[in-house]
A and B are shown apart, each in its own frame.
Chain A
Amino acid sequence: MAVYSSPSTGPLAGLTETSPTLVLGIETSCDETAAAVVSRTGDGRGTILSNVVRSQWESHRPFGGVVPEIAARAHVDCLDDLIREAMTAAGVEFGDLDAIAATAGPGLVGGLIVGLITGKVLALAHDKPLIAVNHLEAHALTAGLTDGLRPPYLLLLASGGHTQLLAVEDVGRYRRLGTTIDDALGEAFDKTAKLLGLPMPGGPAVEAAARRGNRQRFAFPRPMLGRPEAHFSFAGLKTAVRQAAMAIAPLTDTDVDDLCAAFEAAVTDAVADRVGRAMELFQDIAAAQGVTGRHLVVAGGVAANQALRGALTTLSTRRGYSFHAPPIGLCTDNGAMIAWAGAERLALGLVDGLDAPVRPRWPLDKDAAPALGAGIKGAKA
């Protein structure tokens, strides 16, 4: 059991309830099936009572990426087991819960349906409120669970499906400051790994190779550097890596290590530049609201990358920001963040009906303009 009880660092307006709430969280939006039970005290402190995650990666490995139908099949095969396991590990009965929270989007529709229908049935069967959680909001609020951090803060959300910079103004209130106009950051790592014949998932494989490599050997572009908005682009960098690799093929192990090191260096520089720009935008917003605190939170699977963490830590120190990176297991997809987001919304009386739809695309900031160059459907979230 992990207990997070750091003092809150922001306003606690609206948090007046006194008894702890218990919420079950269900996560099935991509290739991890997860369930967790979290408690939240009246003053907004969280405790993870259980957190069970089952990765499907081995099922997807032969296909070089997540296959939506395989993912959906795997979710239905094991979700009830995981929920049972999470409830047992937490030592609570369904009747003890205050709410059931399930991811309703964004993500792969087949998996989302499995998790949300399961949450609805449990809510009906035990007469509990249902909370249909936005997966991105759950990532965005995780620092409240782990660090006791309350909004407002700046968030870098970087995973295989999403790359965004968000001003987290309050629970349920988000302003998108930047997004990717093409690939997500995690996707760029995965595609680079695939290109170089490294095993999946690509992030850890590229990082391990980069650690052995020479980052100076290849001069890759730093996409979007110095642009006034805080958007990202990784497609050009991916092409540059491909061209450099093809020019020297067949590749030795040293070639692969050097390509990975140079790729990671380019990504790190580009992300640090974009986050630096977002800090300026965020400060304008905070100043307009009379907020003085400066906090940077990083979430999503890419937050596991040590080079990126190092660069963001340095940047934060230089700009006077506190840097918050939840433990790796809570940066990648998990049920605890869904339960926590549910608990936060429940505290505000935000619950959903049993007819709640899944939302494969569900932007946190519905007013955000499409990013220049984004695809016809726009960014995923």
Chain B
Amino acid sequence: MNILAFDTCFAACSVAVGRNLHTGSGVIEQRFEPMETGHAERLVPMVAETLAAAHLTLGAIDRIAVTMGPGTFTGTRISVAAARAFGLAGTADCVAVSSLAVMAVGARLRIAPILDGQDLAVVVDARRGEVYVQVFRDGADADGGSDNFGPALLTVADAAAIGGTRPVVYVGSAGEAVCAAARGVGRDARFELPDLLPEAGNLVRIAVDGAPSEVRPSPLYLRPADAKPQTGKSIERARS
């Protein structure tokens, strides 16, 4: 199986192409560029560059893998809009994955010994005192498991309460804040990898065994659009 994967949910644009993944000679080619803005400019050229580096054409891609959020509203839309356009363009199926689940795979690859016997909680700063959170029970797979939680948008205190009193390792940009809250209520908690971001190569690792979506991917915003109904703009009308 050949997979094209990409992520634009947070402060990086990353693209990966996995080639011959169900054979002994499977390889993953990845591009990762940190950026606050500019994902929409770089994503498609990076797809072309990564495909070329993997010696594949789009026609040879069997599956598109995309992070559907949570993330910045615009970043989440860029990935999903691109995935939908690839869906229009060809015959590849699509697997949409939580950005936080992709980060969890990255954490497991980098700090596996620390995670032994601990919950893994990916927590990303969502501003306004809230965090995006997804928790993976010890031993649970990144892409599922009834004991897992999220992804969700919670206050720091509520995020720290997920998993009760079990020991936990927080990763991601809100790790330090949530860890402090957890310790404040007596929980055995630590934080690691504050700069962790989703990497498309890890998205390939999830998608290779994932079930393709039966519906098109949709953005997972977790927060409504910031808009209030307008009132009081009209001049009083006479009663008829």
Contacts and interface: CB of A to CB of B under 8 A. Distances in A.
A65 B219 contact: no
Interface stretch (A74-82, A136-144, A230-238, A297-305): A74-82
Contacts of B140: none
Contact of A80 (B44, B48, B87, B230): B87
Given A72-B74, A118-B81, A194 B41 contact: no
Nearest to A70: B225
B63 to A, nearest CB: 15
B85 A195 contact: no
A65 B230 CA distance: 9
A117 to B, nearest CB: 5
Interface in B26-43: 40-43
Interface stretch (B95-103, B142-150, B183-191, B231-239): B231-239
A366 B234 CA distance: 38
B40 A113 contact: yes
B112 interface: no
Nearest to A78: B84
Given A117-B43, A124-B47, A358-B40, A69 B226 contact: yes
A49 B239 CA distance: 50
Nearest to A72: B77
A373 interface: no
A347 interface: no
Contacts of B226: 69
A375 B175 CA distance: 43
Given A124-B47, A242-B235, A69 B225 contact: yes
Nearest to B42: A355
A120 B233 CA distance: 41
Nearest to A65: B230
A13 interface: no
A255 B82 CA distance: 51
B24 interface: no
B84 A194 contact: no
B106 to A, nearest CB: 25
Contacts of B235: 195-197, 242, 245-246, 249-251
Contacts of A109: 74
Interface residues of A, number: 50
B108 interface: no
A250 B240 CA distance: 11
A116 B40 CA distance: 8
B47 A114 contact: no
Given A69-B73, A124-B44, A197 B90 contact: no
B48 A354 contact: yes
Contacts of B233: 64, 194-195
A113 to B, nearest CB: 5
Nearest to A114: B81
A27 B16 CA distance: 29
A354 B45 contact: yes
Interface string A221-265: 000000000000000000000100110011111011000000000
Contacts of B216: 80
Interface residues of B, number: 41
B218 A110 contact: no
B81 A251 contact: no
Contacts of B43: 117, 120
A268 B89 CA distance: 47
B240 A253 contact: yes
> Which of B43, B81, B218 counts the most A-chain CB atoms under 10 A from its CB?
B81
Interface string B203-236: 0000000000000101101000111111001111
Nearest to A252: B238
B234 to A, nearest CB: 4
Interface string A191-222: 00011110000000000000000000000000
Contact of B229 (A64, A110, A117, A245): A64
B236 A73 contact: no
Interface in A70-101: 70, 72-73, 76-77, 79-80, 83-84, 94
B80 interface: yes
B88 A84 contact: yes
Contacts of A79: 81, 84
A62 interface: yes
A309 interface: no
B89 A94 contact: yes
Interface of A: 62-65, 67, 69-70, 72-73, 76-77, 79-80, 83-84, 94, 109-110, 113-114, 116-118, 120-126, 194-197, 242, 245-246, 249-253, 255-256, 353-358
What are the 9 A-B residue pairs with the smallest beta carbon separation, nearest first? A125-B89, A121-B85, A64-B230, A69-B225, A197-B234, A250-B238, A67-B227, A120-B44, A80-B84
Given A120-B44, A194-B233, A250-B235, 4 more contacts: A79-B81, A113-B77, A118-B84, A250-B238
